[in-house]
Amino acid sequence: MSEIGETEREHPHGLALDRIGSRALIELIATDQHAAVDAVVAAAATLARVADAIAERLERGGRLRYVGAGSSGRIAALDAAELPPTFGVAPALVQAVMAGGARAFAEAVEGAEDDAAAGARAVDDLGPADAAVALSASGGAAFAVAALARARERGALTVAIANVADAPLYAVAEIVVRLPTGPEVLAGSTRLKAGTAQKIALNALSTAIMARCGKVYDRLMVDVVASNRKLRARALRLVCRLTGTSEPEATELLARAQGSVKVAVVMQRCTLDAAGARARLAACGGRLRAAIDA
C-alpha cells in the first residue's frame, strides 16, 4: 500500500461526523478553517514576491495562466472570471485552465487530473513574457505538474501552490508557495480548508497584482466595468467621492467618459475633455493617482 499523503490523513481531532449533532459538526468545520488563514499569512512574503513578478510581466504585455484540477481548478477559474468586471482587464489577460476542460467546472471528469499530456498542451502558447500558476492540494496532480513543467520549458515564470510540505509540483516551479493546512475534518476532502487557503491566496495575489498594475486607487476599484445597475450606481458613487461633484454632475461626466470612472475623474480634477483625460492616463500607465497628481 502506498504512503498516505498529508491531505489524505485523518484529522487528529476529528470526530465521528455521522454521530455528532449538526451544530457541532458545522462549528467543527468552521473552526478548522482558521488553519487556512494562518497558512496564507505565513506565506505572505512569498506571495508578495509572486505578485510583483507577475505584475511586471503583465505590464510588459504578458499573460497569467492559472492551472488546476478538481476543486483547485474551479477555484482558479472563479478568480480569473472575476477579474475583468472588477478591474476592467481583457478576459485573455488572466485565464484559468482545468483538467477535463470547461465541463469539469460543473461535474467531475474521471481521470482528467491524471492526463499529463493535456496539461502540457494547456500552456503550449505561453512564452517568456508570461506566467503560470499551478494549484494542487496534494501537489501531485499530473495535469498541473505537466503544465507547469511545460510552461517553464517555454520560459514562462512558474509558480506552484499546494497544501503540503513537499510535492512533485514544487520540483518544476521557480517559486513555491506552501500552504500546509493539514488533514481535513472529512479525510481527503480538500474542498474544505485546503480549498479555502487556495481561494484566499488567489484573492490576495490577484488583487495585489491588479493594484501594482494601477487598477486600484486608494481602496477603490476604479476600473470597475459598470455592466449592471449595481455597478453603474457604484461608478456614480466613485465619481462623486473622488471629484466632490453632485450626482447630476457625476452622471454627466460618466456619460462623456463613456462610463470610465478614471476618465471622468481626470476630466473633472484636471479640467480636460475626455480625449485629453485618456491621453493623460495613458501617459501615466493608467494610474489614476499619477494622472491627477502630475
pLDDT tens string 142-195: 999 999 999 999 999 999 999 999 999 999 999 999 999 999 999 888 999 999
**Model confidence at 26: pLDDT above 90:** yes
Q: Say which CATH class 229-293 falls into.
A: mainly alpha
* 182-240 tens-digit pLDDT: 999 998 889 999 999 999 999 999 999 999 999 999 999 999 888 899 989 999 999 99
pLDDT of 271 reads 96
Give the distance, in angstroms, between the CA of residue 2 and the centroid of all CA atoms in the same chain. 34
Q: Same fold for the domain at 6-212 and the one at 229-293?
A: no
**Model confidence at 15: pLDDT above 80:** no
pLDDT of 101 reads 87
**Model confidence at 86: pLDDT above 60:** yes
153 is catalytic: no
Between CA 139 and CA 141 the distance in angstroms is 6
174 is catalytic: no
Domain boundaries, given as residue ranges, for the chain: 6-212, 229-293
Mean pLDDT along residues 97-120: 88
The one catalytic residue in 8, 56, 59, 82 is 82
pTM to 2 decimal places = 0.91
Counting DSSP H helices and E strands in the chain, the numbers are 13, 5
Give the distance, in angstroms, between the CA of residue 35 and the centroid of all CA atoms in the same chain. 20
pLDDT of 225 reads 85
* Nearest C-alpha neighbor of 221 from the set 237, 202, 244: 237
Mean pLDDT along residues 255-279: 95
Between CA 144 and CA 142 the distance in angstroms is 5
Q: Which amino acid is at 233?
A: A
- 194: cell is 485546503
Mean pLDDT along residues 10-31: 84
* 27-84 tens-digit pLDDT: 999 999 999 999 999 999 999 999 999 999 999 999 999 999 999 999 999 999 999 9
- 223: cell is 476600473
pLDDT of 142 reads 96
pLDDT of 16 reads 83
User: Could you tell me the pLDDT band of residue 4, with boundaries at 50, 70 and 90?
Assistant: low
CATH fold of 6-212, please?
A: Rossmann fold (3.40.50)
Per the CB < 8 A criterion, the answer to whether 194 and 184 are in contact is: yes
